[in-house]
Amino acid sequence: MNAFEFKNPTKIIFGEGEIKKLSDNIPANSKVLLAYGGGSIKKNGVYDQVIAATRNFEVTEFSGIEPNPHFETLMKAVELIRNKNIDFILAVGGGSVIDGCKFISAAVYYQGDEWDLVEKGLARKQEKVVPFGTVLTLPATGSEMNSGGVVTKVATQQKRTFGGPQYFPVFSILDPTVIQSLPKRQIANGVVDAFTHVMEQYLTYNHGGIIQDRMAESILQTLVEIGPAVMENPSDQNLAGNLMWSATMALNGFLRLGVPTDWSTHMIAHELTALYDIDHARTLAIIAPNLYKKLFEDKKDKLVQYGKRVWNIQGESDIEVAEKAIEKTIAFFHSLGIDTKLSDYTNNYENTGQIVYDRFKERNWMGLGERQKVGPELAKEIVEMSY
Amino acid sequence: MNAFEFKNPTKIIFGEGEIKKLSDNIPANSKVLLAYGGGSIKKNGVYDQVIAATRNFEVTEFSGIEPNPHFETLMKAVELIRNKNIDFILAVGGGSVIDGCKFISAAVYYQGDEWDLVEKGLARKQEKVVPFGTVLTLPATGSEMNSGGVVTKVATQQKRTFGGPQYFPVFSILDPTVIQSLPKRQIANGVVDAFTHVMEQYLTYNHGGIIQDRMAESILQTLVEIGPAVMENPSDQNLAGNLMWSATMALNGFLRLGVPTDWSTHMIAHELTALYDIDHARTLAIIAPNLYKKLFEDKKDKLVQYGKRVWNIQGESDIEVAEKAIEKTIAFFHSLGIDTKLSDYTNNYENTGQIVYDRFKERNWMGLGERQKVGPELAKEIVEMSY
């Protein structure tokens, strides 16, 4: 185990009907920006609950934050906050809305080209930010209990991550009943996103983090157990609650403590979304298995452990266990209705490897992953394996 | 899964040599009370590291906080803080020193009989408290990342719990190298204390908290794997680190979220420590297996799950699996050199069941545990089973 520091101050409020607690958790006398996405919250009752619980605040609405939130859209919210002296943001939505609000939080008081906050990593240095809380409507990204985000600049097709300890939500309300109104596609996406987050903090090499490995496996086992079931029975509050809490625990910081991580699946996959607008989770399902195959020797020991403990694969040679573990992973994605080839999503895939190569090169990403091996060439090969 | 709220703001600083970070984490210009126990920190190098890292602060020392810290001792520290206008407490020690400092934190600004803070539960209502940080020297209680504590009033042999969100440490430094200088007895105590904390949030009934069960099992599995090994090789930094982090995770609030808990093992066991001054962990090892046997029918489903998942007991009937799971637990305690009968610790045990009965009665504890069944009579029977 390596040295680490950890602090996660987000207050979680979990349970059916808990949106009403907004009234006690938004700081008194706040001028609130209510930020949300395409309007699904008006169909599932969440909007009405939020409005009822915030009636004692001055609320300005900002809708239209899209999946993979756009810098261009978010800057409109930034202007609105500046013009109206708003001092609290309430993000009501999934990871895209929450990530978008983290960017808004960073940008309001920044003086300069706000894209530099992500492109030059200046968000981390931004001291004055707008505090924000969230009402989660889609379990997937873990953004409701972490301090990172992703934004996309449409003009340049750039998708970028940013973060810093000032971007933890003050509070997040997790009401698992929101899952029952989600399209199955989005539930599946949430399962795969959470699953991959765990894998990226787990599937590296043996590092002696015995407790962290076990905790990662506990979330993987849970997702395997409940994933297809929650898609079948999204109104089962218990399954929904377990999915929601698993997705939060998958990326609230605990799994990565003191252990190596490999975020290269996300970094490659982000490019596919930027290029073809494929759902984020589906790009993960396209890339992850091929990344495991490409880096098989490096990740073999951990693949064996994963196969035995998560999938109960027993009795064969280590190599067979590791190979079967990858096949089980792909089959799990398929069982959720998620395709795992790029050509399932676009006909226009043939040059993608080269484009990803160029983008990695352009950003000087020469060594991602737990062994700093994933550069332009490997990324290209992994993408080409995914056609 | 039930509704829950959760917030844990403690900053964890984990790793060898990290005590030096005290200088950056104690608020600037603080007047510091350096509180510790019997002086073992002067032998293992911790004291010297603390003094070096706090040389830019005005530090007043207070030593002599005993195991199962005494109200009478702690009140001397309270007076010292009041007299010297000290505004930050640094607890250097194990759970007893940290718990003691939580009480001190509560008592300094309280006006009235300070024992009422615990006896009447007023600590939870005390708004103004003295902030504190910790340097953990003994992994066991989890007090370094939670907001509860236990104090004992010698005059009346009363051992009482207290807590409130204002009693989270501001920071806790976890340097696993401290384990190498611990007596084996204390390492064993730490393993059993952490193990029992997990069991009390796990071994109840099936409640649908799939992810919480898995997380609890992940800590139990880790403790089973590393417990005897870390006693054999306390200078193995990896084993030590896993023990230290497991003990923290066992009681930092995550396991109990949305699930029933049963703290009656601790509540009965506290009486044995108050009566006979037996190490806290050993009283848990005396009580827990008998409590599981006494409440076998109520806990059977969970005992089966525990037996299968934690101990890999397979193939027999459910009752056999559950019974073997209890036997495995006792054998695990024995493998750590921990005796599990009250008569192993005192010859004066014969009337203990009745005394515990009277104490439960006196405090009107009629229904502890996940089914509110553990009252004076059951507590008496469980204690008598432990003779």
Which chain B positions have a beta carbon within 8 Å of A210's beta carbon?
222, 225-226, 238, 242
| pLDDT band at residue B316 under the 50/70/90 scheme | confident
Q: Is the pLDDT of residue B323 over 90?
A: yes
Whether residue B2 is contained in a domain is answered as: no
> Could you tell me if A225 lies within 8 Å of chain B, comparing CB atoms?
yes
Return the minimum-mean-pLDDT range out of A12-16, B77-81, B231-235, B311-315.
B311-315
306-335 of A, contacting B, C-beta below 8 A = none
| Cα radius of gyration (chain A) | 20
* B158 and B211 in a common domain: no
* B187 and B170 in a common domain: no
d(Cα A142, Cα B107) in Å, to the nearest integer? 39
> Could you tell me if B238 lies within 8 Å of chain A, comparing CB atoms?
yes
Summarize pLDDT for B247-258 with one digit per residue, the tens.
999 999 999 999
> pLDDT exceeding 70 applies to what percent of chain B?
100
> Could you tell me if B14 lies within 8 Å of chain A, comparing CB atoms?
yes
What CATH number is given to the structural domain containing B86?
Answer: 3.40.50.1970
| pLDDT band at residue B158 under the 50/70/90 scheme | confident
Measuring CA to CA, how many Å separate B284 from each of A242, B6, B291?
31, 27, 10
Q: Is the pLDDT of residue B198 over 90?
A: yes
pLDDT value at position B197? 97
> Could you tell me if B211 lies within 8 Å of chain A, comparing CB atoms?
yes
Q: Per-residue DSSP letters for B99-159?
A: HHHHHHHHHTT--S-TTHHHHTSGGGG------EEEEE-S-SS-GGGSSEEEEEEGGGTEE
3-state secondary structure of B174: strand
> Could you tell me if A13 lies within 8 Å of chain B, comparing CB atoms?
yes
**How close does chain A come to B54, measured CA to CA in Å?**
20
**How close does chain B come to A331, measured CA to CA in Å?**
22
Residue of B nearest to A209 (CA): B242
* A145 and A196 in a common domain: no
Q: What mean pLDDT is predicted for residues A312-340?
A: 95
> pLDDT exceeding 90 applies to what percent of chain B?
96
Q: Is the pLDDT of residue A193 over 90?
A: yes
pLDDT value at position B218? 98
Q: Is the pLDDT of residue A39 over 90?
A: no
| Cα radius of gyration (chain B) | 20
* B361 and B243 in a common domain: yes
pLDDT value at position A316? 79
Summarize pLDDT for B22-68 with one digit per residue, the tens.
999 999 999 999 999 998 999 999 999 999 999 999 999 999 999 98
A177, A205, A229: which is the final residue of a domain? Answer: A177
Of A210, A215, A242, the CB nearest to B210: A242
Summarize pLDDT for B2-33 with one digit per residue, the tens.
999 999 999 999 999 999 999 999 999 999 99
* B100 and B45 in a common domain: yes
Q: Do B242 and A211 touch (CB under 8 A)?
A: yes
Q: How many domains does chain A have?
A: 2
Whether residue A5 is contained in a domain is answered as: no
Q: Do A222 and B210 touch (CB under 8 A)?
A: yes
pLDDT value at position B71? 98
Q: Centre a 10 Å sphere on the Cβ of residue B325 and count the other Cβ atoms it contains.
A: 24
d(Cα A157, Cα A159) in Å, to the nearest integer? 7
3-state secondary structure of A33: strand
DSSP structure class, residue B157: T
Of A208, A246, A254, the CB nearest to B211: A246
pLDDT value at position B380? 98
* A31 and A89 in a common domain: yes
> pLDDT exceeding 90 applies to what percent of chain A?
96
Which chain A positions have a beta carbon within 8 Å of B15's beta carbon?
2-4, 258
The residue to which tokens 């027999």 are assigned: B316
Whether residue A216 is contained in a domain is answered as: yes
Whether residue A6 is contained in a domain is answered as: no
Return the minimum-mean-pLDDT range out of A158-162, A227-231, B111-115.
A158-162
* B136 and B211 in a common domain: no
The question of ipTM being above 0.90 is answered as yes
Whether residue A4 is contained in a domain is answered as: no
B155, B177, B199: which is the final residue of a domain? Answer: B177
Summarize pLDDT for A63-81 with one digit per residue, the tens.
999 998 999 999 999 999 9
Whether residue B1 is contained in a domain is answered as: no
* A25 and A99 in a common domain: yes
Residue of B nearest to A13 (CA): B5
pLDDT value at position B333? 98
User: Rounded mean pLDDT of chain A?
Assistant: 96
Chain centre distance of CA B281? 8
**Which of B218, B224, B249, B255 to probe by mutation at the A interface, max A CB count within 10 Å?**
B218
What CATH number is given to the structural domain containing A241?
Answer: 1.20.1090.10
Q: What mean pLDDT is predicted for residues B73-87?
A: 98
pLDDT value at position A157? 83
B141, B161, B177: which is the final residue of a domain? Answer: B177
Q: Residue A6 forms beta bridges with which residues?
A: B12
> Could you tell me if A214 lies within 8 Å of chain B, comparing CB atoms?
yes
Q: Centre a 10 Å sphere on the Cβ of residue A215 and count the other Cβ atoms it contains.
A: 27
| pLDDT band at residue A210 under the 50/70/90 scheme | very high
- For residue B209, which amino acid is it? G
Of A1, A13, A218, the CB nearest to B241: A1
* B216 and B103 in a common domain: no
Q: Per-residue DSSP letters for A343-369?
A: GGT-S--TTHHHHHHHHHHHTT---BT
Summarize pLDDT for A332-372 with one digit per residue, the tens.
999 999 999 999 999 999 999 999 999 999 989 999 999 99
23-42 of B, contacting A, C-beta below 8 A = none
Q: Do A5 and B12 touch (CB under 8 A)?
A: yes
**How close does chain B come to A223, measured CA to CA in Å?**
9
Domain region containing B262: 183-385
Q: Is the pLDDT of residue A315 over 80?
A: no
pLDDT value at position B105? 98
Q: What mean pLDDT is predicted for residues A212-236?
A: 97
* A38 and A19 in a common domain: yes
| pLDDT band at residue A235 under the 50/70/90 scheme | very high
* A96 and A34 in a common domain: yes
> Could you tell me if B205 lies within 8 Å of chain A, comparing CB atoms?
no
d(Cα B233, Cα B223) in Å, to the nearest integer? 14
Whether residue B6 is contained in a domain is answered as: no
Whether residue B323 is contained in a domain is answered as: yes
Which chain B positions have a beta carbon within 8 Å of A254's beta carbon?
249
d(Cα B202, Cα B217) in Å, to the nearest integer? 8
* A217 and A76 in a common domain: no
Q: Is the pLDDT of residue B315 over 80?
A: no
Summarize pLDDT for A2-12 with one digit per residue, the tens.
999 999 999 99
**How close does chain A come to B146, measured CA to CA in Å?**
13
> Could you tell me if B226 lies within 8 Å of chain A, comparing CB atoms?
yes
> Could you tell me if B3 lies within 8 Å of chain A, comparing CB atoms?
yes
Summarize pLDDT for B107-129 with one digit per residue, the tens.
999 999 999 999 999 999 999 99
Label residues A159-197 b or e (16+ Cβ within 10 Å = b): bbbbbbebbbbbbbbbbbbbbebbeeebbbbbbbbbbbb
- For residue B222, which amino acid is it? T
Q: Do A241 and B6 touch (CB under 8 A)?
A: no
Long-range CB contacts (< 8 A, 24+ apart) of B320-325?
B322/B296
pLDDT value at position A117? 98
Which chain B positions have a beta carbon within 8 Å of A2's beta carbon?
15
pLDDT value at position A155? 93
Q: What mean pLDDT is predicted for residues A21-26?
A: 98
Summarize pLDDT for A242-300 with one digit per residue, the tens.
999 999 999 999 999 999 999 999 999 999 998 998 999 999 999 999 999 999 999 99
Residue of A nearest to B214 (CA): A218
Q: Do B12 and A4 touch (CB under 8 A)?
A: yes
